[in-house]
Amino acid sequence: MPAHAVLTDAARDIGVDIDHAPEAVDTFIVNLRFVGLLKTLSGAERIISIDMLLGELPAAPVISTSLAPATSRSTNGIITSDQAQFESTCFYIAPIGGEGSDERKHSDLFLGSIVEPAMEPFQLTVVRADSIDKPGIITRQIIDYIVRSRLVIADLSFHNPNVFYELALRHAMKLPIVQLVRTSDKVPFDVNQMRTIQIDTTDIYSLVPRIDSYRAEVANQVRRALEVDHIVDTPISAYFPNMSVTL
């Protein structure tokens, strides 16, 4: 598959407005994956022909036609609460774990390779809990980010209890949120009604070739979540539509 920048230039060449070209490319990649025209072949994601896809159909599982279509880089430095501008902040809820733990390695990988690059077009600074530095109760500061940040991305991998606690707060606020998870982790029933991006981390050969398309999928969901007329539906709002939480 051509690089994202090449696809963006191609979109502009056929008349797509420069401001909408990144969105067009992300939507193009997401839909390629959805219809099966983006395959991992010889260690890289490749766009295949329709004829090749049709040739694979007899051996492929039956797919229901009722399926619905898929709908500023931070640094390792400390971000103080005074510097944080919540309207330009994406708070990243994730299983952080201790230094050197599998959870920390996983969270750092997702943050640096998928989440932060996906946020660049939106000029959102990604903040994770361990980047907050201010005297006081850390839980209070985290809740402040959860309820005030323009966007929250929640990584449900490892089934971390803190993540689900914080996710519930954001759901109650009915504010923009994007969920993602490793394919090896089952999304619990209470939150599996929300669209969740599945990321295959089985091994490096499964993950690396699809990094660009995962970034595009995250960016695509973020773009929709930040639309002015977007209605945030959560398990809480589904059962208590008139409930309102205000600061």
Q: What is the CATH number of the domain that holds 90?
A: 3.40.50.2300
Could you give the number of structural domains in the chain? 2
Ordered alpha helix ranges (H), the chain: 4-13, 21-35, 50-56, 102-110, 116-119, 138-148, 161-173, 204-207, 211-225, 235-239
Q: What is residue 108's predicted lDDT score, i.e. its pLDDT?
A: 95
Beta bridge partners of 132: 79
Q: What is the mean pLDDT of residues 73-78?
A: 48
| DSSP letter (8 states) at residue 79 | B
Between 59 and 28, whose confidence is greater? 28
Co-location of 238 and 131 in the same domain: yes
Reply yes or no on whether the pLDDT at 62 is more than 80: no
Q: What is residue 80's predicted lDDT score, i.e. its pLDDT?
A: 54
Reply yes or no on whether the pLDDT at 55 is more than 70: yes
Between 200 and 79, whose confidence is greater? 200
Co-location of 103 and 198 in the same domain: yes
Tokens, residue 242: 């008139």
Distance (Å, whole) CA 98 – CA 156:
17
Between 52 and 182, whose confidence is greater? 182
Q: Domain limits at 50?
A: 1-69
Co-location of 151 and 89 in the same domain: yes
Co-location of 132 and 50 in the same domain: no
- Work out the pLDDT band at 70, boundaries 50, 70, 90: very low
- Residue 173 DSSP SS3: helix
CB 145 within 8 A of CB 83: no
Q: What is residue 224's predicted lDDT score, i.e. its pLDDT?
A: 94
Q: What is the dihedral of CA 16, 19, 21, 22, to 10 degrees?
A: -170
- Residue 70 DSSP SS3: coil
Q: What is residue 163's predicted lDDT score, i.e. its pLDDT?
A: 97
Co-location of 206 and 170 in the same domain: yes
Co-location of 26 and 144 in the same domain: no
Domain closes at, from 18, 43, 69 = 69
Q: What is the mean pLDDT of residues 102-131?
A: 94
Co-location of 33 and 75 in the same domain: no
Order of all β-strands in the sheet with 151-155: 125-128, 89-93, 151-155, 177-182, 196-199
Share of the chain above pLDDT 90, in %: 52
Residue 8 CA to its chain's centroid (Å): 20
Co-location of 196 and 80 in the same domain: yes
Co-location of 181 and 121 in the same domain: yes
For 187-222, write each residue's pLDDT tens digit. Answer: 998 899 899 999 999 999 999 999 999 999 999 999
Co-location of 115 and 45 in the same domain: no
Distance (Å, whole) CA 22 – CA 6:
11
Co-location of 87 and 173 in the same domain: yes
For 8-20, write each residue's pLDDT tens digit. Answer: 889 999 999 988 9
CA distances 89 to 127, 198, 244, Å, are: 7, 23, 23
Reply yes or no on whether the pLDDT at 72 is more than 80: no
Q: Which of 52-56, 82-86, 147-151 has the lowest mean pLDDT?
A: 82-86
Q: What is the mean pLDDT of residues 60-88?
A: 49
Reply yes or no on whether the pLDDT at 35 is more than 50: yes
Q: What is the mean pLDDT of residues 74-86?
A: 56
Specify the length of the chain in residues.
247
For 141-190, write each residue's pLDDT tens digit. Answer: 999 999 999 999 999 999 999 999 999 999 999 999 999 999 999 999 88
Q: What is the mean pLDDT of residues 11-35?
A: 89
Tokens, residue 30: 């997401």
